[in-house]
Structure 1
Amino acid sequence: MPNLQPLTIDKLITLQYIPSRVPFHLSPDGKYLAITLESGERDFPSSMNTQENSIPQNLAASQVKIIDTTNGNVVTPFGNSKSMSPRWSDDGKLLAAYLLNGDRVSLGIWHRQNGQIQIFANTQISKIYGGYEIFGCAVPQWMPNNQAVVLQVQTTKNSVADSSKISNVSVFSFDPTIENSEQQEAESDLLSWLSGDLVIFDINSGEQKLLAQNLPFRSWRISPDGKNIALLKAVKREVNNTHHWTLYDLVVLPTDSSPPITVASNIPQTYAVSFSWSPDSQYIAYTTHKRVALSVEEQTDEGELFVVSADGTNVTRKLSNTETPNLGQNYETPRWSQDGKEIYCLTSSGVWITATEGSSCRNLTVNSDMEILYWIQRPLFNLCTLWDNNKIPLAFRNPQTLNSGLAFLNIETGENTILFEDAQNFTADALSTEMGNNGDLYFALETADTPAEICCVTDKDKETKQLFVPNPDLSEVAFGKSRLISWRGYDGSECFGALMLPQNYVERQKLPLIVNVYGGVNNSCFLNNFDFGWSGHQHPQLFASRGYAYLCPDMPMLNRDPMRQLPGLVLPAINLLVDMGIVDSERVGVIGQSYGGYCVLGLLTQTNRFKAAVTSAGVYNMTSFYGILMSHGKSRWIDWAETAQGRMGGSLWEKRDTYIENSPLFYLDRVETPVLLISGTGEPGEASQASEVFSGLRRLGKTVEMRLYDREGHYSGGWSQKSLRDVGARVISWFDSYIMSG
């Protein structure tokens, strides 16, 4: 039996994980699976507002891996270079990816035959959100000739001169006599963050053919015949008290440089990826996606299916009807049948299938105890690939047990069969899957005590097998185990929570407890996630491997008076664990990030139950946070406070007392718990919020420490490894000194 050790900060930083929104890609012959792995080994501050840092956060710690599907052997095609978003050529001889090349992002090509690497420095890949990241769906896409790649590169045209670069004066103005002035400001911000040039890059000559300049878009699709490229161009944002989405125009760009054609307008989507080409390249199918808020907590999704002619000559046809379930998806696309006669759309309970001409449709659903997570298909492909000729593989979660599994939905009979269902979780999203032409399935699975591993199911033996373990050297870490707990809230309702206990826990052994709070979220759904949904300094295994119990309780909230609700959402769960003999009532701490930071301080002003607290990137004074101005002049937190997560229900002047009563800062005199405040300085307003609390607690003679991390952003899970080492070590020592030692 090995001598088990705690999870160290250094080990946490080097853990390899499957990033969200970055597709897998299987070579055409099915032998090599190309994926992206990410870690915490970043050498740069994470703030998107750091002008001198032009390195995307997600690329800064990523590497492409190629897995041999026959034996699980792995190669790193681009060596030590940071790389992501791999894409095989149609002949399987070349692999394109994005590489970090000095301080810029360039196209890299790996030659399968001899391992040669080409880096094209004259390609400067476009980055979104002010250079913060590369959008994972914006992969390099090969033209059918396998000699050219379609890329989104940084625009060569500046649409608006930036006066701040030539003056020491920043000017912001607003004229109420100009209609939609604030709406235009929001749209300008969106368009500048997404804009880039679309080019066809010839890998032999190194020449770029410009197809679109300074266009705001996220991803694109090449028609099967290679004659056209389709994309969704952002045109405006729709924002009010009930909804928030972006509208896009569907644009077709001929590759022969003929004028572009707008074939559909004002399409609401989330990430602008839900569209696909018909097999004959004549039509494009797309789904809409609207998320309408009935309240802060209650939302409903609406999505419909349309088909439009690629040359814009025919009227757009709506194929969904009033009986159709919601078809809106974040990352998935409508899929065409191989013959183009049917279109398949994923729903929350199965698959909806319609004839392309609209003559018939059918809604296939799975069992009621199966919540569909996503289907397993080829990411970013146009066609639906059937398993065993007539089945669609679906990743699902059981909403009662929170176990996940794999099922097959028969499109002919409507029957569904379950291959497996266990205490595990499908990692990331629908893009982190693949399906070979022979029916082999690839996906990532994790458990509460095991990081994600690449698994496969072969059509031949229909058994789940482990293919690749990204983190093989963890056998000596004392990873904790999870369990689902339930209790009755103050109002009598049944509540749930994800509890992690040390690996060697003995029943009735009383442990110190850390409670991770975040209002408005059912945190128990992360029961089988390795990180319970939290990385960085809040990773539950940092604490469970050191002898702590770690609890993430569900915290459903009403759309009013958020601070007053907090004790009733958290304290009953602690009481249960004390009554069960699991937790020492005198050794309980609390931790929270972002809105969770708000919840931490809100709790401390209403109870002395906690012996130590850590809060990071929180909002503590609703009145001052309300008016924080971003560097580009946007007052982004007004909507947040009035109608969204802030739950104030109106403006500061309409609800003055509500803002004060729900601001923990005004009740700091009631705090008796030692508080560790954490913030990066790269996000406007966050450090000042922490400073207000620090100044107040110090003035009141309370125990408090504040740690500010230069140029770091909102979430420590994306910070530089230098900052993460410091904050992780301090959080552990903070709780150890006040709780573990008793």
Structure 2
Amino acid sequence: MTLLSVNDVLNVKKPADRVHMSMSSDGKWLAFCIDGKSESRSFGVSLAVEGNTQWVCNLETGESFPIAIQANSSWGGVWSPNGETLAFFADIHGEAQLWIWTPSDCSLKLGSEIVVRPFFGFEKPIWTNDGLHIIVKSLPSQEVDDNHFSSSIPSIDAVFKNCNSKPQYYTTSKNTKDEANVSNTSWVNRYRADISLINISTGKDKTLCNGFKPAGLAISNDGKYLAFTNCTGEERINTQQNIFKLWVVTLEPNIVTKVTKIEKKVRMDYGLSFSWGLDNKTILYTTSGPLSEGGLWSVNIQYPNSAKLDFSPDGNQIRREFDGPIPLKNGEIVMIVNGSLCVYSPSRSIEKMITLDGREIVAVFPITNQSDEYVIVQTVEKCNAIYGFYCIDYETDESDKIFEEPNAHLPWFEGGSLYQKSRSHECISFFSQSANEPPILKTIDVKSKLIIVESVLNEVNKNQLGISQLIKWEKGDVTLRGALLLPKNIKGKVPVIIRVYGGSMQSNNVRYYGLSPSSADNHQLFATRGYAVFLPDLPMLRSIEPAEEISMAIENALNELVKHPQIDSERIGIIGHSFGGYSALVAITRSPRFKAAVISAGIGNLISYYTKFDPPNFNYGWVEDGQVNLGATLWEDKERYIRNSPIFDFHNIQVPVLIVQGTQDHISNEEAGPIFSSLNRLGKTAELVFYDEDHYQGSWKEENLKDYYKRVLGWFNKYL
């Protein structure tokens, strides 16, 4: 069998994380963004988009190509209303700026001299309705702190080393139970930016507002207003509930710009789940987060601070992170609730749920033609991992399948698909991939239901790659699954590596190339070397005893895995990253079934992590109410902290442990040393490797990622 190399997986072209597609109004061009890495930093380029590359596809020929090869990072392409030019961000001159690409002559033009400062990939340029101006997030005139914005996040030690011996002062005056401490170095400052209006013909810019931390931006249908959410941080220090304020800016050319606060406290995750009503006076939004009720709200911009809860579904919560409610021409509102399409009538205060037999609705495409009486949705049939697109008539509740296949499709808001309808076309463009097929770009005609364009972005020999399948088991009245990747041409039983992450439904990755949306975690690297890889569902019910929940969930998954006729139950390895590293540590302290373990950026001691001094990113909320969810302070129940900290059970470990840690990792950089020191004192077999890198391998330099996989594969080769 030919071995897949790290270079092979790093060079795979995959859609960039949460960078939306855009199609020209004539249906001839598709803009999309490819994930990547950059070896150098540019001013205004955030860690969320660094290394991305803006591409376009000619939908008549299927040819795809990048449009800014001079840039280290380019992203966010959006077509003008007339479809003649594409606006996007790029660092061609060493800093993030707005650029314009024209397909008629493939020319590039700098849109403005100002430095733009979006953080996430979905913070794209916004064209005004007349196509004459573009709205962007831009660099403030005041000095900004790049902590949590760039890819190089200094540790507290680095902060002290650079303070020129000046005293560093901190106070607990704001750290009460009911008020979070949002300082000048808080993570929310990654959103700090002005909002600017750029004249495309002259390149001149006008500041619409400053002094904010804008997240989501949306222009009203009539083009007269811009709504945006302003991030103010976490609601309380013991929770991870994010709070936003909702503001509106006037855009009418003959009216003095006015910025109005519409609502002072909106609970959301990313500040995105809002939209304009068709009356251009109402803003609709749904709430999300641990303290939210997960309902539908509305507020009239003429009556600020008068938001009302319109709808809260019985026994469910809407809680959408990346998409807002969609207003319909008949006055109703459509959104997704628990995998069903919910159609809510504000005038009658009633709702109806539209379901698809055996399928979960994962996304509703934004409506591109208000005269229609239907919406296009993305679906997944989870039992067999079948992905597709359906048309649903929201008046009659009738549905019609457009297309389905046993390949994974990312939702539109994650940058994996797009629907558009105009007079000349109605089509869906989407990335399609499977465990042994890297992403391919397809376009389907909605009416004929035929694939009309395919653009092959990657060439790969499928014959060398492993094949995936689903394993299912019952836990009470719930069916759980695991994604299993098996080597090609198996002879006898093979060793298996189980990747764990408490609370994650990892089986959803069964149709992704290498069982992962990320190239850094492509499990074909193991499969082509004779290993099976298993990614089980490990649900958590917030029981305030996470270690017990995780260990029991892993044990149940293992019991089902070892029934497989091609799995060697005597050669099981385990790997976990971040909270997955914590999960793997829990597993090896409580089960003797493993023969080798790799802990990447793991957490072993919840007490030290909880009290870690890393201003202002105190970890209280993550431990008390977040992923760990111990539900109490250390002083209220110290025994619970001890029970759920694997380090206190390290004497039970019987497996060799490889520990991997990035020194620039502000999340868990102080955990790896004590994990290794403890194992060393106990006489356990362990190795510790430090890399001058950030938290996740997806952002690492190529040489370090190659060394990482050499060590990981060597570890499993030695002990499995």
TM-score w.r.t. the length of structure 1 is 0.86
Determine the structure 1 residue equivalent to 2:152.
none
After TM superposition, give the deviation of residue 153 of structure 1 in Å: 0.4
Q: Is the 8 A contact 2:138 2:196 kept in 1?
A: yes
After TM superposition, give the deviation of residue 409 of structure 1 in Å: 1.1
- Counterpart of 2:165 (choices 165, 168, 177) is 168
Task: Evaluate the alpha carbon distance shift between residue 464 and residue 376 of structure 1 in structure 2; reply closer, same or farther with a 3 A threshold.
Answer: farther
Aligned AA (2:365) = I
Q: Distance in 2 between matches of 1:167 and 1:180?
A: 34
Q: Residue 444 in 1 paired to residue 431 in 2?
A: yes
Q: Secondary structure at the match of 1:695?
A: helix
Q: Distance in 2 between matches of 1:324 and 1:605?
A: 37
Determine the structure 1 residue equivalent to 2:494.
511
Determine the structure 2 residue equivalent to 1:131.
none
After TM superposition, give the deviation of residue 188 of structure 1 in Å: 7.8
Task: Evaluate the alpha carbon distance shift between residue 384 and residue 706 of structure 1 in structure 2; reply closer, same or farther with a 3 A threshold.
Answer: farther
Map residues 534-553 of structure 1 onto 2, 5 A cutoff.
535=518, 538-553=521-536
Aligned AA (1:306) = S
Task: Evaluate the alpha carbon distance shift between residue 445 and residue 186 of structure 1 in structure 2; reply closer, same or farther with a 3 A threshold.
Answer: farther
- Counterpart of 1:206 (choices 203, 211, 233) is 203
Determine the structure 1 residue equivalent to 2:38.
42
Determine the structure 2 residue equivalent to 1:153.
138
After TM superposition, give the deviation of residue 224 of structure 1 in Å: 4.0
Determine the structure 2 residue equivalent to 1:483.
469
Q: Residue 722 in 1 paired to residue 703 in 2?
A: yes
Task: Evaluate the alpha carbon distance shift between residue 537 and residue 552 of structure 1 in structure 2; reply closer, same or farther with a 3 A threshold.
Answer: same
After TM superposition, give the deviation of residue 111 of structure 1 in Å: 1.9
Q: Is the 8 A contact 1:676 1:706 kept in 2?
A: yes
Determine the structure 2 residue equivalent to 1:223.
220
Q: Residue 22 in 1 paired to residue 12 in 2?
A: no
Q: Is the 8 A contact 1:477 1:545 kept in 2?
A: no
Task: Evaluate the alpha carbon distance shift between residue 519 and residue 336 of structure 1 in structure 2; reply closer, same or farther with a 3 A threshold.
Answer: closer
Q: Secondary structure at the match of 1:425?
A: coil
After TM superposition, give the deviation of residue 90 of structure 1 in Å: 1.1
Map residues 605-616 of structure 1 onto 2, 5 A cutoff.
605-616=589-600
Task: Evaluate the alpha carbon distance shift between residue 535 and residue 190 of structure 1 in structure 2; reply closer, same or farther with a 3 A threshold.
Answer: closer
Q: Distance in 1 between matches of 2:673 and 2:181?
A: 33
Q: Is the 8 A contact 1:596 1:618 kept in 2?
A: yes
Determine the structure 1 residue equivalent to 2:54.
64
Q: Is the 8 A contact 1:144 1:226 kept in 2?
A: yes
Aligned AA (1:26) = M
Q: Secondary structure at the match of 2:671?
A: helix
Determine the structure 2 residue equivalent to 1:580.
564
Determine the structure 2 residue equivalent to 1:284.
282
Q: Distance in 2 between matches of 1:178 and 1:76?
A: 48
Determine the structure 2 residue equivalent to 1:634.
617
Q: Distance in 1 between matches of 2:572 and 2:304?
A: 67
Q: Distance in 2 between matches of 1:693 and 1:460?
A: 59
Task: After superposition, give the CA deviation of every residue in 1:587-628 in whole Å (9 maximum; x if it has no partner).
Answer: 221111111111222222233322211110110122211111
Q: Distance in 1 between matches of 2:616 and 2:229?
A: 27
Task: Evaluate the alpha carbon distance shift between residue 350 and residue 643 of structure 1 in structure 2; reply closer, same or farther with a 3 A threshold.
Answer: closer
Q: Distance in 1 between matches of 2:145 and 2:555?
A: 53
Task: Evaluate the alpha carbon distance shift between residue 321 and residue 569 of structure 1 in structure 2; reply closer, same or farther with a 3 A threshold.
Answer: closer
Q: Distance in 2 between matches of 1:57 and 1:410?
A: 41
- Counterpart of 1:391 (choices 370, 374, 382) is 374
Task: Evaluate the alpha carbon distance shift between residue 716 and residue 241 of structure 1 in structure 2; reply closer, same or farther with a 3 A threshold.
Answer: same
Task: Evaluate the alpha carbon distance shift between residue 321 and residue 38 of structure 1 in structure 2; reply closer, same or farther with a 3 A threshold.
Answer: closer
Determine the structure 1 residue equivalent to 2:2.
5
Greater mean alpha carbon deviation, residues 300-309 or residues 57-66: 300-309
Determine the structure 2 residue equivalent to 1:521.
504
Aligned AA (1:101) = I
Q: Is the 8 A contact 2:432 2:439 kept in 1?
A: yes
Identical residues among aligned pairs (%): 25
Q: Distance in 1 between matches of 2:342 and 2:17?
A: 25
Q: Distance in 2 between matches of 1:90 and 1:347?
A: 32
Map residues 458-473 of structure 1 onto 2, 5 A cutoff.
458-464=445-451, 467-471=454-458, 473=459
Q: Distance in 1 between matches of 2:531 and 2:61?
A: 39
Task: Evaluate the alpha carbon distance shift between residue 189 and residue 687 of structure 1 in structure 2; reply closer, same or farther with a 3 A threshold.
Answer: closer
TM-score w.r.t. the length of structure 2 is 0.88
Q: Residue 369 in 1 paired to residue 358 in 2?
A: yes
Q: Is the 8 A contact 1:433 1:443 kept in 2?
A: yes
Q: Secondary structure at the match of 1:290?
A: coil
Aligned AA (2:583) = C
Q: Is the 8 A contact 2:179 2:237 kept in 1?
A: no
After TM superposition, give the deviation of residue 511 of structure 1 in Å: 0.3
Determine the structure 1 residue equivalent to 2:659.
677
After TM superposition, give the deviation of residue 286 of structure 1 in Å: 1.5
Q: Distance in 2 between matches of 1:493 and 1:225?
A: 47
Structure 1 stretches lacking a partner, 5+ long: 46-51, 128-133, 294-299
After TM superposition, give the deviation of residue 23 of structure 1 in Å: 0.9
Q: Is the 8 A contact 1:152 1:197 kept in 2?
A: yes
Q: Distance in 1 between matches of 2:526 and 2:679?
A: 27
After TM superposition, give the deviation of residue 124 of structure 1 in Å: 1.0
Q: Is the 8 A contact 1:390 1:412 kept in 2?
A: yes
Q: Distance in 1 between matches of 2:585 and 2:188?
A: 37
Q: Is the 8 A contact 1:601 1:620 kept in 2?
A: yes
Q: Is the 8 A contact 1:156 1:214 kept in 2?
A: no
Q: Residue 621 in 1 paired to residue 587 in 2?
A: no
Determine the structure 2 residue equivalent to 1:303.
295
Q: Secondary structure at the match of 1:546?
A: coil
After TM superposition, give the deviation of residue 374 of structure 1 in Å: 0.3
Task: Evaluate the alpha carbon distance shift between residue 557 and residue 184 of structure 1 in structure 2; reply closer, same or farther with a 3 A threshold.
Answer: closer
After TM superposition, give the deviation of residue 73 of structure 1 in Å: 1.5
Q: Secondary structure at the match of 1:11?
A: helix
Q: Is the 8 A contact 2:286 2:325 kept in 1?
A: no
Q: Distance in 2 between matches of 1:245 and 1:679?
A: 28
After TM superposition, give the deviation of residue 237 of structure 1 in Å: 3.4
Q: Residue 330 in 1 paired to residue 296 in 2?
A: no
Q: Distance in 1 between matches of 2:362 and 2:174?
A: 47
Q: Distance in 2 between matches of 1:434 and 1:177?
A: 45
Map residues 674-713 of structure 1 onto 2, 5 A cutoff.
674-684=656-666, 686-710=668-692, 712-713=693-694
Task: After superposition, give the CA deviation of every residue in 1:681-706 in whole Å (9 maximum; x if it has no partner).
Answer: 11236232111122222233332211
Q: Distance in 2 between matches of 1:517 and 1:160?
A: 35
Tell me the C-alpha RMSD between the 2 structures.
Answer: 3.3
Q: Distance in 2 between matches of 1:535 and 1:384?
A: 34
Q: Is the 8 A contact 2:339 2:362 kept in 1?
A: no
Map residues 238-253 of structure 1 onto 2, 5 A cutoff.
238-239=235-236, 244-253=241-250
Greater mean alpha carbon deviation, residues 475-484 or residues 19-28: 475-484
Q: Is the 8 A contact 1:484 1:499 kept in 2?
A: yes
Q: Residue 457 in 1 paired to residue 444 in 2?
A: yes
Task: Evaluate the alpha carbon distance shift between residue 565 and residue 167 of structure 1 in structure 2; reply closer, same or farther with a 3 A threshold.
Answer: same
Task: Evaluate the alpha carbon distance shift between residue 460 and residue 402 of structure 1 in structure 2; reply closer, same or farther with a 3 A threshold.
Answer: closer
Q: Secondary structure at the match of 1:35?
A: strand
After TM superposition, give the deviation of residue 54 of structure 1 in Å: 6.3
Task: After superposition, give the CA deviation of every residue in 1:511-553 in whole Å (9 maximum; x if it has no partner).
Answer: 0110111122232232222243464554321111221111112
Q: Is the 8 A contact 1:531 1:539 kept in 2?
A: yes
Task: After superposition, give the CA deviation of every residue in 1:277-321 in whole Å (9 maximum; x if it has no partner).
Answer: 4556x323321213347xxxxxx9612141524x44896576547
Determine the structure 2 residue equivalent to 1:262.
261
Task: After superposition, give the CA deviation of every residue in 1:11-37 in whole Å (9 maximum; x if it has no partner).
Answer: 111111112321111101111111111
Greater mean alpha carbon deviation, residues 695-704 or residues 28-37: 695-704
Q: Residue 655 in 1 paired to residue 644 in 2?
A: no
Map residues 114-125 of structure 1 onto 2, 5 A cutoff.
114-120=105-111, 122-125=113-116
Q: Is the 8 A contact 2:97 2:113 kept in 1?
A: yes
Task: After superposition, give the CA deviation of every residue in 1:322-368 in whole Å (9 maximum; x if it has no partner).
Answer: 6797444222233344x574543343444344567x25755240235
- Counterpart of 2:85 (choices 64, 79, 94) is 94
Q: Is the 8 A contact 2:275 2:285 kept in 1?
A: no
Q: Distance in 1 between matches of 2:562 and 2:176?
A: 59
Q: Is the 8 A contact 2:178 2:236 kept in 1?
A: no
Task: Evaluate the alpha carbon distance shift between residue 627 and residue 169 of structure 1 in structure 2; reply closer, same or farther with a 3 A threshold.
Answer: farther
Q: Distance in 2 between matches of 1:319 and 1:582?
A: 54
